[in-house]
Structure 1
């Protein structure tokens, strides 16, 4: 397929995981890609170019407005405009509970995970609208759907991303700019690599993702393919949605119950 031939595309968090997989797939389908991340972006872009694709790497902090504006301007300068923005960059914020979460931690998680997508929409949407149509995809999480899949800071930030996709889709009415979110379950990325590495070393990889009906974690490409679908004309009537890509986890969210002051199995 070549669904993105001639399209100008920005992918944040492109240095690893879902972002790197998406940047690679966008380029393989003809896209002209700006791979943006705090580290590893140029390595992703170089790999794309080595494979015959078009890509440029840029250092970027997704929660910094100047960086977002600069990256969008770069895409418009190099590729003549902007068609797709995949605001994928995010951080985990650890696994502390509410009472052990420092204000500085939740502030940083919200800055990257929620303000980052807000900035992406604010500055990318007008440039995409200039092209007549296009798409913005945000990376949320199953942790943003309901409790049981992440820390309070991370979960709150991703719930905000889901709502942001809905609100921005409405506020972009008439622009032909669609906004949707993907909600990954447990996926092997830079953020979760230690979990997968430990499981492999301990001979327990079969236990990773065991709470979802598919009984496994996801590969980054499985999430990236859904992002590409939402960015493409195949999803031309999909707007304001949060799509769970989690092996069925969010159909139930089975978790260990917690009570104030103690944990029960």
Structure 2
């Protein structure tokens, strides 16, 4: 029971990585709040009495504050915040995205983790320590794994956790990121559906050394490690879980890159 007695918040808990992580956290003894715009109630129902479902927008200052307050009021504290919620924005080029597209992607993917850190830290300080985990991506490490706004937002998350880790270290609050590769989730469902419909399922993940995509449970395992005291000496780190994709990040030249100018 690696999270026995711990109280956690998981955003994006309605599906994919968030749901798998919420389940695993509960199995390992945590009481938790499952937050999302939809599906979170199903996740909490699967877990049972140890979980509470709250509808929340991860990029809303008020909603994130309410999540922390709910943890304090219903469970008496907060030990772990997994800021996992995010949106893709697709693979459109820089010339196909609007400023509004960028604003929304950055609001959820980057401002969301900032709000989680800002509002979780004071509650964790009262407990004497804590762990904040933010979902970044291999797209935030190198080009070729995501759209422009998405990649920029995830690169921001990686640097955000480094800065936050230095500022919260005195309170014994650790801040880390997870960088998933290709994982079968609601966000990547169109990719998986297209591959299966076209008979190309065997091509999914073929660019990484393991020659496959990942499962949400494999990211949940990394989140559990960072949430637990087993990672007590891991801080400001971006943990890559991608089957080895980021070893080289193979790059496919896109046509818009040749013709845009």
- The TM-score normalised by the length of structure 2 is 0.97
Q: What corresponds to 1:28 in structure 2?
A: 27
Residue 126 of structure 1: CA displacement? 1.1
Unaligned runs of 5+ in 1: none
Give the one of 195, 198, 208 matched to 2:194: 198
Partner of 1:173, secondary structure, is helix
Preserved contact between residue 174 and residue 235 of structure 2 (Cα < 8 Å): yes
Runs (4+) of structure 1 exceeding 3 A deviation are 258-261
Of 67-76 and 195-204, deviating more is 195-204
Distance across 1 between alignment mates of 2:254 and 2:198: 26
Which is richer in helix? 2
Distance across 2 between alignment mates of 1:126 and 1:224: 25
Q: What corresponds to 1:122 in structure 2?
A: 118
1:208 paired with 2:204, answer yes
Partner of 2:171, secondary structure, is coil
> For the structure 1 residues 5 and 175, does the alpha-carbon distance in structure 2 shift closer, same or farther, using more than 3 Å as the test?
same
Residue 223 of structure 1: CA displacement? 0.5
Residue 261 of structure 1: CA displacement? 4.5
Deviations 1:70-104 (A, max 9, x none): 01100111110000000000000111111111000
Partner of 2:52, secondary structure, is strand
Distance across 2 between alignment mates of 1:214 and 1:260: 30
Preserved contact between residue 93 and residue 256 of structure 2 (Cα < 8 Å): no
Q: How does 1:152-171 map to 2 (within 5 A)?
A: 152-171=148-167
Partner of 1:130, secondary structure, is helix
Deviations 1:139-168 (A, max 9, x none): 000000011100000000000000000000
Distance across 1 between alignment mates of 2:256 and 2:8: 46
Distance across 2 between alignment mates of 1:144 and 1:36: 24
> What's the Cα RMSD here?
1.1
1:38 paired with 2:34, answer no
Deviations 1:17-49 (A, max 9, x none): 000000000000110010000111111000111
Distance across 2 between alignment mates of 1:130 and 1:206: 50
Q: What corresponds to 2:81 in structure 1?
A: 85
Unaligned runs of 5+ in 2: none
Distance across 2 between alignment mates of 1:89 and 1:260: 30
Residue 5 of structure 1: CA displacement? 1.3
Partner of 1:172, secondary structure, is helix
- The TM-score normalised by the length of structure 1 is 0.95
How many residue pairs align between the two structures? 259
Distance across 2 between alignment mates of 1:62 and 1:200: 31
Of 233-242 and 201-210, deviating more is 201-210
Distance across 2 between alignment mates of 1:39 and 1:47: 15
Q: What corresponds to 2:104 in structure 1?
A: 108
Distance across 2 between alignment mates of 1:199 and 1:30: 38
